[in-house]
């Protein structure tokens, strides 16, 4: 818990939460100007813009802070001091991971409140969409937690630049999962089909977490779908942290 | 002393930097204006170039941001029509933009609705604006909306409206009938089906269509268009009444009136008249006597659409 708290405080010290200012400015500008441009669709556009920005900023934080979580400790050599204490490498990684997840949670909650306030402002009163956007926000948070897990995994064996690139590619491919499966079914070669099926199951299926567009129409995801998506994320995160722990465990920090 | 000197040097340094920022920004503004003035006018053919990305490709590469990209295509559709409308000399109703060569409108709306199939406004816009440009695209897009949103009675209403505009009253009746069967559909959808079957081309049916459009639409421009069409229908009724008065005057005097004042007493009970005795149309403009006083038509400056 101490590692998680320190990671969160470090993120705050690194001014990671400054992105919230840009987000709020974007929303205010959106709320004021988009009504004029969108033919009366400002509520939909505020939700689309707000939640998409939330996802995009969150992905950037997950990637750029996530890939530095372990690397910075190694570079500053603070990792030697940490591992000299009775802390296992797994605990260290989980602490780091939870610290960044806390940062993301603060981000996502404040941004969600910002979107809700923008809706109140545009609607000049209570708006049911203020409630119905939160399941979509929850799914965005789980997507970000998965991306953070992937970033942590890559950073356990690669440089920050390469880790960031690889994680971003996983984010992109993760949204093409359905295409991977379709591609596999259209392949004649058994090997190629097997490869695409393997990739489909290996890479995170992030389309399970894309609920921004229906949320903008006031649609709610089914409870079973949300629970399954959360379970999938929990399992995937456990796997990525386990692999990262295995890799870190083989590195010599003595 | 040396500390004072250092502070003084730092201030000078800051002053130089601030001066560079101010002068630099002013130069950027000046240079941008010079470059803008020298830039050749935009090639209109490029503006009308086909969309590079097909609707399905846009959906695939949207990475979960499909709603936001759909919004962008929607706003681009509005801007595209808006820019063209601004080039027209006078106000033209939204459903009569056929002369504007809006060939990108259908693909723009198609992309917006492929990215977000539950986005209803582009379908409505397609039903109202597209028939004058590409009626087949309008029907295709509305049917695509019905397939993606089978519970939406409004899309059936839009389809019925398109068919009604094409004078295909039976197809319109079928569309209204299909919509009327959906849960939540208002009772007047059923009545609309009956009207289409019995009297599709009448002014009463037209009035009903535009009245419902005005009541149901959330789009300000569509509402304005429907309101204008309702005024136009009122004006057509008024012109019929004026023609009846003109005909009875001619029967009595064997000539048409030279001016409005000659028949003002006959019109007074039914119309608002201006100081010359000319009846005012629903937008407040005076009607004009034409064909040597034997017929009536709208003032060209009237807000009521001529066609």
Summarised one tens digit per residue, pLDDT across range B44-102 is 666 666 777 788 888 877 888 889 899 989 988 988 888 888 877 667 777 777 777 78
Summarised one tens digit per residue, pLDDT across range A137-181 is 999 999 999 999 999 999 888 888 999 999 999 999 888 877 777
Summarised one tens digit per residue, pLDDT across range B133-164 is 888 999 999 999 999 999 999 999 999 999 98
Averaging pLDDT over each range in A6-20, A69-83, B168-182, B204-218, which range is the top one? B168-182
Q: What are phi and psi of A28, to 5 degrees?
A: -65, -45
B209 shares its domain with B256: no
Distance from CA of B181 to the nearest CA of A (A): 23
Q: What value does the mean pLDDT take over residues A109-136?
A: 87
Asked if A47 and A135 count as a contact pair (C-beta separation under 8 A), the reply is: no
- CB proximity list for B69: less than 8 A, separation 6 or greater: B58, B62, B115
Q: CA-to-CA distance for B139 and B159, rounded, in angstroms?
A: 7
Does residue A54 surpass a pLDDT of 80?
yes
B94 shares its domain with B171: yes
User: Which CATH number do you get for residue B94?
Assistant: 1.25.40.10
Picking from B64, B115, B221, the nearest residue to A207 by CB comes out as: B64
Handedness of CA B253, B259, B261, B264 (dihedral sign): positive
In this predicted structure, what is the pLDDT of residue B46? 61
Instruction: For residue B11, tell me if it sits in a domain.
Output: no
Asked if B121 and A216 count as a contact pair (C-beta separation under 8 A), the reply is: no
Instruction: For residue B4, tell me if it sits in a domain.
Output: no
B79 shares its domain with B223: yes
B275 shares its domain with B167: no
Task: Tell me, yes or no, if A109 comes closer than 8 A to chain B by beta carbon.
Answer: no
B174 shares its domain with B252: no
Locate A250 and state its tokens: 């083989």
Q: What value does the mean pLDDT take over residues B195-213?
A: 82
Q: What value does the mean pLDDT take over residues A183-188?
A: 78
B263 shares its domain with B207: no
Does residue A100 surpass a pLDDT of 80?
yes
Instruction: For residue B30, tell me if it sits in a domain.
Output: no
Does residue A250 surpass a pLDDT of 80?
no
Locate A68 and state its tokens: 């530095």
Asked if A96 and A186 count as a contact pair (C-beta separation under 8 A), the reply is: no
Summarised one tens digit per residue, pLDDT across range B231-255 is 888 899 889 888 988 888 888 888 8
In this predicted structure, what is the pLDDT of residue B48? 67
Q: For residues A14, A16, A21 and A24, what is the CA-based torsion angle, rounded to 10 degrees?
A: -170
Q: For residues A14, A16, A21 and A26, what is the CA-based torsion angle, rounded to 10 degrees?
A: 140
| Helical axes A223-249 vs A134-155, angle rounded to 10° | 10
Does residue B1 surpass a pLDDT of 70?
no
In this predicted structure, what is the pLDDT of residue B45? 64
Cβ-based neighbour number of residue A217 at 10 Å: 16
- What are the chain A neighbours of B94 within 8 Å (beta carbons)? none
Does residue A12 surpass a pLDDT of 60?
yes
B72 shares its domain with B107: yes
DSSP 8-state code for residue B289: E
Tell me the residues of B at the A interface, defined by beta carbons under 8 Å apart: 60, 63-68, 70-71, 74-75, 78-79, 115-116, 118-119, 121, 125, 218-221
**Three-state secondary-structure class, residue B273:** strand
Handedness of CA A219, A225, A230, A234 (dihedral sign): negative
B144 shares its domain with B78: yes
In this predicted structure, what is the pLDDT of residue A90? 81
**Three-state secondary-structure class, residue A107:** helix
> pLDDT band for position A87 (50/70/90)?
confident
Name the residue among B90, B47, B69, B124 with its Cα closest to residue A39.
B124
Domain boundary among B227, B254, B274: B227
Nearest CA in chain A to B67: A213
Name the residue among B121, B218, B125, B202 with its Cα closest to residue B164.
B202
- CB proximity list for B202: less than 8 A, separation 6 or greater: B195
Asked if A114 and A25 count as a contact pair (C-beta separation under 8 A), the reply is: no
- The domain ranges of chain A are 2-175+210-249
Q: So what's the ipTM on this one?
A: 0.72
B69 shares its domain with B160: yes
- What are the chain B neighbours of A41 within 8 Å (beta carbons)? 71, 74, 121
Q: What value does the mean pLDDT take over residues A4-29?
A: 73
The residue of A31, A48, A179 whose CB has the most chain B CBs within 10 angstroms, and thus the best one to mutate to test that interface, is: A48
Distances (CA, A) of B110 to A162, B68, B93, B122, B253: 39, 15, 22, 8, 60
In this predicted structure, what is the pLDDT of residue B110? 93
Q: CA-to-CA distance for A33 and A29, rounded, in angstroms?
A: 6
> pLDDT band for position A31 (50/70/90)?
low
Averaging pLDDT over each range in A73-82, B14-23, B59-68, B291-300, which range is the top one? B14-23
Distance from CA of B205 to the nearest CA of A (A): 28
Q: What are phi and psi of B159, to 5 degrees?
A: -65, -45
> What's the number of domains chain B is made of?
2
Instruction: For residue B273, tell me if it sits in a domain.
Output: yes
Does residue A36 surpass a pLDDT of 70?
no
The alpha carbon of A217 is separated from its chain's Cα centroid by a whole number of angstroms, namely 23
CB contact under 8 Å between A38 and B74, yes or no, is: yes
Q: CA-to-CA distance for B157 and A47, rounded, in angstroms?
A: 28
Instruction: For residue B264, tell me if it sits in a domain.
Output: yes
Asked if A144 and A56 count as a contact pair (C-beta separation under 8 A), the reply is: no
> What single string gives the DSSP state of each residue in A15-76?
TGGGHHHHHHHHHHHHHHHHHHHTTS-HHHHHHHHHHHHHHHHHHHHHHHHHTHHHHHHHHT
Residues facing B273 on adjacent strands: B279
B259 shares its domain with B134: no
Distances (CA, A) of A37 to A33, A214, B71, B73, B143: 7, 22, 10, 12, 27
Q: CA-to-CA distance for A61 and A164, rounded, in angstroms?
A: 11
Handedness of CA B144, B146, B152, B154 (dihedral sign): positive
| Domain enclosing residue B79, as ranges | 55-227
Q: What is the mean pLDDT of chain B?
A: 85
- CB proximity list for A5: less than 8 A, separation 6 or greater: A99
B181 shares its domain with B139: yes
In this predicted structure, what is the pLDDT of residue B42? 67
Summarised one tens digit per residue, pLDDT across range B12-47 is 888 888 899 899 889 888 888 888 788 777 666 666
In this predicted structure, what is the pLDDT of residue A169? 92
B266 shares its domain with B209: no
Instruction: For residue B142, tell me if it sits in a domain.
Output: yes
In this predicted structure, what is the pLDDT of residue B85? 82
């Amino acid at each position: 818990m101490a590692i998680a708290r320190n990671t969160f405080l470090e993120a705050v010290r690194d001014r990671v939460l400054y992105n919230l200012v840009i987000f709020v400015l974007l929303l205010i500008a959106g709320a004021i100007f988009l009504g004029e441009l969108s033919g009366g669709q400002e509520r939909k556009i505020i939700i689309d813009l707000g939640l998409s920005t939330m996802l995009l900023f969150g992905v950037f934080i997950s990637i750029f802070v996530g890939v530095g979580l372990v690397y910075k400790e190694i570079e500053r050599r603070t990792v030697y001091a940490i591992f000299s204490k009775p802390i296992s490498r797994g605990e260290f990684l989980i602490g780091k991971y939870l610290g960044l997840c806390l940062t993301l949670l603060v981000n996502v909650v404040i941004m969600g409140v910002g979107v809700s306030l923008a809706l109140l402002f545009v609607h000049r009163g209570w708006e049911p969409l203020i409630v119905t956007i939160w399941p979509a926000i929850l799914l965005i948070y789980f997507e970000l937690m998965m991306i953070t897990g992937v970033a942590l995994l890559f950073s356990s064996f690669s440089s920050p630049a390469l880790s960031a690139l690889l994680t971003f590619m996983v984010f992109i491919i993760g949204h093409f999962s359905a295409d991977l499966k379709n591609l596999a079914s259209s392949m004649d070669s058994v090997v190629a089909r097997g490869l695409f099926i393997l990739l489909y199951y290996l890479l995170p299926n992030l389309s399970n977490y894309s609920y921004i567009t229906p949320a903008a129409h006031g649609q709610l995801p089914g409870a079973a779908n949300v629970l399954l998506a959360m379970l999938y994320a929990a399992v995937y995160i456990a796997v990525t942290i386990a692999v990262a722990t295995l890799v870190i465990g083989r590195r010599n920090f003595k | 002393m040396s500390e004072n000197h250092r502070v003084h040097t730092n201030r000078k340094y800051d002053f130089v930097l601030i001066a560079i920022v101010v002068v630099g920004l002013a130069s950027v503004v000046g240079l941008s204006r010079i470059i803008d003035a020298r830039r050749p006018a935009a090639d209109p053919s490029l503006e009308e170039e086909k969309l590079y990305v097909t609707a399905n490709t846009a959906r695939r590469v949207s990475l979960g941001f499909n709603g936001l990209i759909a919004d962008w295509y929607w706003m681009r559709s509005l801007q595209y029509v808006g820019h063209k409308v601004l080039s027209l000399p006078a106000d033209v109703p939204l459903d009569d933009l056929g002369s504007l060569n809006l060939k990108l409108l259908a693909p723009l709306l198609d992309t917006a609705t492929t990215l977000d199939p539950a986005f209803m406004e582009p379908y409505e816009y397609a039903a109202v604006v597209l028939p004058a440009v590409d009626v087949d695209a309008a029907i295709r897009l509305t049917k695509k909306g019905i397939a993606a949103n089978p519970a939406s009675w409004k899309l059936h209403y839009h389809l019925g409206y398109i068919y009604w505009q094409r004078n295909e009253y039976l197809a319109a009746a079928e569309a209204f009938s299909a919509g009327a069967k959906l849960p939540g559909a208002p009772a007047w959808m059923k009545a609309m089906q009956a009207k289409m079957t019995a009297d599709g081309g009448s002014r009463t049916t037209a009035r009903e269509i535009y009245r419902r459009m005005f009541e149901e639409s959330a789009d300000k421009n569509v509402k304005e268009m429907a309101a204008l069409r309702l005024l136009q229908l009122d004006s057509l009724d008024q012109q019929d009444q004026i023609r009846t008065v003109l005909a009875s005057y001619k029967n009595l005097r064997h000539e048409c009136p030279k001016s409005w004042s000659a028949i003002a007493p006959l019109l007074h009970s039914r119309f608002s008249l201006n100081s010359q005795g000319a009846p005012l149309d629903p937008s407040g403009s005076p009607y004009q006597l034409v064909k040597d006083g034997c017929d009536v038509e709208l003032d060209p400056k009237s807000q009521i659409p001529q066609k």
